Structure 1
Amino acid sequence: MAKLVHPKGQLKKYYIFSPFLRIFHWIMVWCIAGLFITGLLIMDPISGGPGHEPTFADWRLSVDLIRNIHFLLGFIFTASFTLRIYGWIINRGDRLLPKFWTTKYMEETVEVALHYSLLKYSHKPYLRNPLARGSYLALYVMVLVEIVTGFAMYYMPNSTGVPASIFGWSIGMYGEMIFHWVHHYFAWFIMFFAMGHVYMVFRADLMEREGEAASMFSGTKTLAHIPSDIDDLKDKKGHVAED
């Protein structure tokens, strides 16, 4: 299928991502990195070995300190994720979710997957390609699992108050160790997603030159061709936000 070109071959900028998505995307990136590192240190603390005298460095890397940093990052991450959801509500470009029920979505997902696997030279232009849409939805599910299991462990069954009543009861039902392992493995799943995400973003920037990486700073993407998913960005009056 031939790509539809803008009149006179002009490049066109589309405003997609709101400040809510962009700002809290970067806060969440740093929080995920910090949470993963501190989480690994909590699972396997640094030790000087038997007979080792505590030093100032030991105090700085104490498990209690690392746990407190982990908890603080967890609260910041949860707040950022919540505000990002608010951006999802107010801006159409923030909620380009997958349309699993359509044949078009399935076909285009396969096309994009073949392209990123180096088995197809190119794919249709998109504001947000279908493979990315599906992977981001999967990320949101994993993030929710991390938030629920993290707060469940933070507010143990013997805690009191509203948060404990919301999260703590689940540990009593399933057992604390189950939550530890679920929390741990889903953290690794998120890191694997992050590695794939970085690869796809920079590959798209180098090969398609549509400002994929820059869009998370400017909120816009620059396309020479009319995107296949342009209708998803139109409002009720059929207008598209352009920069």
Structure 2
Amino acid sequence: MRQGAMKPYYVFSPWTRIFHWVMVLCTFILFLTGLYIGNPFFLGTQGLEPTFAVNSVLSMEMVRYIHFIAGYILVISFIPRIYGFIINPGDRLLPKPWTRLYWTGIMDTQLHYMFLRDKHRPYLRNSLARSGYLAVYFMFLIEAITGFAMYYMVEPNRFLAKTFGPFNNWFVNEYTVHLIHHFVAWFIILFVIVHVYMAVRADFTEKGGEISAMFSGIKYMEEEPDDVGELQVSKSKAK
């Protein structure tokens, strides 16, 4: 990074950084185990009978157990994310479509990503990224609801029955819930691919520590970001 010309901005709290990496790990586990649950032979294990091979490492029982545990951990991990949202202004960088800055930022970053503009205005979190993160949170909510709705059919209990059971009827039937769960999972993976590409691209082109910020909490910029006021802190307080 071009130290000297770059100014530090403390953006992400430890709570949000912990949530981010737990989410990465859980998403990876959930997707792979979900593929196996949907099609036990996608790994080329045609010689096995995963549903009945209880003692096998790839048994359906074991894979489903791992899937459920990862799902519970992901849901619980939102607790530190919410706590970070409460205590740290930098964790609240969600889209604000009622502001002019949001829409000018959308156009500005779109032109840059389409290679029609050399660079975009400096933002702690640009409007497209803010919208994308809110969308992926919404997709995780759908996955949690549909996942627990299907889980209720396997492990019925009073809480799941009252909270998630009705969704199997509201979304037509359990099979429709399964399809929603399946396709939203692929949309999340598509987001992950785009997110990784954009984060790496930003680090190479803008040199702002887009990736390292999820370890240190700090981003570096040459110019004062247009949305710096949302931090409600001075640059001198960067840690």
Alignment of 1:163-182 (within 5 A): 163-173=160-170, 174-182=172-180
2:166 counterpart SS class: helix
Aligned to 2:129: 132
Distance 1:92 1:53, change over 3 A: closer
Q: Does 1:35 align with 2:30?
A: yes
Distance 1:158 1:20, change over 3 A: closer
2:210 counterpart SS class: coil
Letter in 2 for 1:224: E
Do 2:121 and 2:226's aligned partners in 1 also have CA atoms closer than 8 Å? yes
CA drift of 1:117 comes to 2.2
Alignment of 1:1-243 (within 5 A): 10-46=5-41, 47-48=45-46, 59-156=56-153, 159-173=156-170, 174-234=172-232, 239=234, 241-243=237-239
CA drift of 1:169 comes to 2.5
1:59 counterpart SS class: coil
TM-score where L is the length of structure 1? 0.87
CA drift of 1:127 comes to 0.9
Deviations 1:169-190 (A, max 9, x none): 2214431111100000000000
- Number of equivalences: 230
**Partners of 2:33 and 2:157 in 1: CA distance:** 26
**Partners of 1:34 and 1:161 in 2: CA distance:** 28
**Partners of 1:108 and 1:170 in 2: CA distance:** 37
Q: Which runs of 5+ in 1 are unaligned?
A: 1-8
CA drift of 1:24 comes to 1.4
Do 1:157 and 1:171's aligned partners in 2 also have CA atoms closer than 8 Å? no
CA drift of 1:212 comes to 0.6
Aligned Cα root-mean-square deviation (Å): 2.3
**Partners of 1:62 and 1:161 in 2: CA distance:** 28
